[in-house]
Amino acid sequence: MNGLTYHRFRAGSRLPPIVKRVLWSFVLVMVLAITLPSTADDFADAKQAFDAEQFPKAIRLLRPLAEKGDPRAQ
């Protein structure tokens, strides 16, 4: 790696603290936005299967949610 490339890398790692906080907040929001709806969809699918008396399917969908601590699934 030549000196210029190394210098660009080092300069990029010196972000002001406020920028770092904003970036981490954005990452956190994106992770939650991606993971929470899938859990809600899984619970809705499990409830629909339970109501249709498809108990093996309901258990297959509810078990991972219950193991993660979802009180509705427990």
Is 19 part of any domain?
Answer: yes
Is 29 part of any domain?
Answer: yes
Is 58 part of any domain?
Answer: yes
Is 49 part of any domain?
Answer: yes
Is 4 part of any domain?
Answer: no
Q: Are 65 and 72 in contact (CB under 8 A)?
A: yes
Q: Are 54 and 25 in contact (CB under 8 A)?
A: no
Number of domains within the chain: 1
Please give the pLDDT value at position 8: 54
Lookup result for tokens 């427990």? 74
Rounded Cα–Cα distance for residues 42 and 73 (Å): 10
Is 1 part of any domain?
Answer: no
pTM: 0.47
Rounded Cα–Cα distance for residues 60 and 64 (Å): 8
For residue 40, what are the domain limits?
15-67
Local confidence pLDDT in tens for the 74 residues of the chain: 555 555 555 555 677 888 888 888 888 888 777 766 666 678 888 889 889 999 999 889 889 888 888 888 87
